[in-house]
Chains A and B, each alone.
Chain A
Amino acid sequence: MIEFLAASIRIATPILLAGLGGILSERAGVFAVGLEGMMLIGAFGAAIGTAMSGGDALAGLAIALAGGALAGLVVAIVAVRFRADNMVTGLSLNIVAVGLTSYLMRILSASGQPMAIHNALLPVMPIPLLSDLPWIGPLLFAHPPLTYLTIVLCVLFTLLLKRTEIGLTLRATGENPDVVFASGLNPLKVRMLAVIACGAVAGLGGAVLTTQQVGTFTDGMTSGRGYLALAALIVGRWTPYGTAAACLVFAAAEALQYRLQGFGIPVSSYVMQMIPYLIGLAVLAGLGRNAHLPAAIGRPLDRRL
């Protein structure tokens, strides 16, 4: 049971990181459909960065962060600056990300085949003492480093959004940009920065896949996790803890699938894989009218510079 829950936490990590990034973007009023592409670029950056630097995972993470931020910058320019439709902008970023990562993987190796990368996975780092606690120890304190980072970020983002002026400005930009403008700040700039930060965090989420779970980059390896993150952050009502809970439920469904197959229970893996999406749809449908979207989300801002 503990093992199953711990596995859920590990599977939830990349989705939650992307979701946390998405919260920044959506709270500032920009739909985060581009999460999938940001994750993919982050995953690619981490794999390439680690391999090129001779196995330095930190270099990989830095490149993932930078790559994600760059993807965020593109969305910021097109969707915020040029007021293009958020959804379609995000979608185009996802397409560019698929093409670009796959293309670069091939031209980086001379043979025209995808470059072969095998990085060492980030090791599990049990926290001394705490990890010896019964139940909670193996569940919360025996994970690879990025999982800890995600948990910390989850708490930090909650504090940031609820208790700081930055968070207030961010939320106000998503709810009523005119108020932000009236208070002497530039909502356009807030949105752009939020989307860039969203890209950086989501890129880190993608890096979890390559540095902590797989060790190599394959084409389109995010396979819908970005969209799941998007669903999770809405199900979690744009709060870090709520999003974390939603990600854990999605991840538990995936972990359960491996379990059941391991026990030889004849369960269709296709149906099991549908479960996160169905849960997402069901919860979204259940939230229905009560779901409170940031009021100004998706609404383009005038250029008041």
Chain B
Amino acid sequence: MSEGSTMAAAPPPAHRLSRLRLSWRRLSLRLGRIGLGGQIALALVLSVICSAVLILLAGKNPGLAFLAIVDGAFGSPHQIGTGLNRATPYLLAGIGVAICFRGGIINLGSEGQIAVGGAGAAAAALLTPALPAFLAIPLALAAGAAAGALWSGLAAAIHLKRRVHEVLATLLLNFVALLLVQQLLAGVLGQTGAGFLQSPLMPRNVWLPKLAGWDAHLGIVIAVAAAALSSFLLWRTPFGFGLRVSGASRLAGAYAGFSLPRLTWSAMLLAGALAGLAGGIEILGLHHRLIEGFSLGFGFKAVTVALIGAIEPVAIIPAALFIGFLETGSLAMQRQIGVPTALVTVIEGLTMIFVLVAMSGRRR
């Protein structure tokens, strides 16, 4: 216990100190024992507790509010379909973010990539009005994915060629993308006299078909398939291995002969394509026209979803569904109990923070 006098000497071993007091380290060691899934579940519980306090602050009953969310999310096939539709873009973009995360690349640009993807899909659909559905839909979705990949490629180019940090490149390009889509809507893609920035309604043959008996469109099926494929890519292919090795340690990756620039390009382009696809699906499946700000906040939610899903594509499926249903249900909460839906954003952000703390003990 002679800490004070030994300051000048070598620091005492950390394990001895951590035994002396209830330290942060000790707390996280305890948390380490419940596994990553348990940690994330705990993070979710904590953020729900925090939001319960916020609901109390509003003078409402948290129990009733949460019941209203569940009822609003699962009360009818229509609501379940809405929840599934809502989860779709988060799932697709979240997979892309997770793939980048695995490679140690932080892609915060999903928002812009989704917006540009939506614009690409809308442009393709409006340019080819006479095609039959089985051609028109894949074409429009491919255009959306290509546009998204183009946008993330731009960020990747700025990052790799000019050494700008990828977070800044992707973040700043988000704003440019949103404004670019607004400019397109004010110009070539826009519908004159709408009073609101939007494109004309798309021909019915590019609308995504609905799943039989549900209000959900085909998007969720595409997204789940993408999750399965991405999981395979990440865990069963040389590309995935290289990405994970380089993400864990740049040095080890380089030593094993993986080209970091090439991995970065692939991961970013893949993430952009997935986000672009998400934008295309949102346009073709839900809005049936390009509208201003349709992707507002999606990019950040994609990061939330990727983190809750432990940056593992298949685990992101329940994470995206959770956020999707939470948002659908929160509308009912606002209607029935009078708790503002903004609460959901708080839950999302807090969950992210708690997940970050929970994951802090381990290396990605």
Contacts and interface: CB of A to CB of B under 8 A. Distances in A.
Interface of A: 31, 33, 74, 78, 81-85, 87-89, 91-100, 102-103, 106-107, 112, 184, 219, 224, 227, 230-231, 234, 268, 270-271, 273-274, 277-278, 280-281, 284-286, 288-289, 291, 293, 302-305
B345 A95 contact: yes
A273 B168 contact: no
B24 A303 contact: yes
Contact of B168 (A82, A88, A107, A284): A284
B352 A92 contact: yes
Contacts of B28: 82
B153 to A, nearest CB: 14
B164 A74 contact: no
Contact of A285 (B158, B349, B353): B158
Interface string B2-20: 0000011001001001000
Contact of B176 (A85, A88, A278, A305): A278
Nearest to B55: A107
B182 A99 contact: no
B303 A88 contact: yes
Contacts of B360: 78, 82-84
A273 B356 CA distance: 34
Contacts of B350: 92, 96
A96 B353 contact: yes
Q: Looking at B23, B54, B164, which has the most chain A CB atoms within 10 Å of its CB? A: B164
Contact of A88 (B23, B179, B339, B356): B356
Given A89-B353, A95-B300, A99-B343, 6 more contacts: A84-B359, A92-B350, A96-B350, A99-B345, A99-B347, A103-B345
Given A87-B108, A91-B303, A285 B162 contact: yes
B173 interface: yes
Interface string B168-185: 110111011001101100
A102 B108 CA distance: 23
A274 B7 CA distance: 53
Nearest to B97: A88
A271 B179 contact: yes
A102 B168 CA distance: 26
A85 B172 contact: no
B186 interface: yes
Nearest to A113: B340
B23 A305 contact: yes
A82 B24 CA distance: 8
B268 to A, nearest CB: 15
A98 B345 contact: yes
B295 to A, nearest CB: 15
A81 B357 CA distance: 9
B167 interface: yes
Contact of B356 (A82, A227, A305): A82
B296 to A, nearest CB: 9
B339 to A, nearest CB: 8
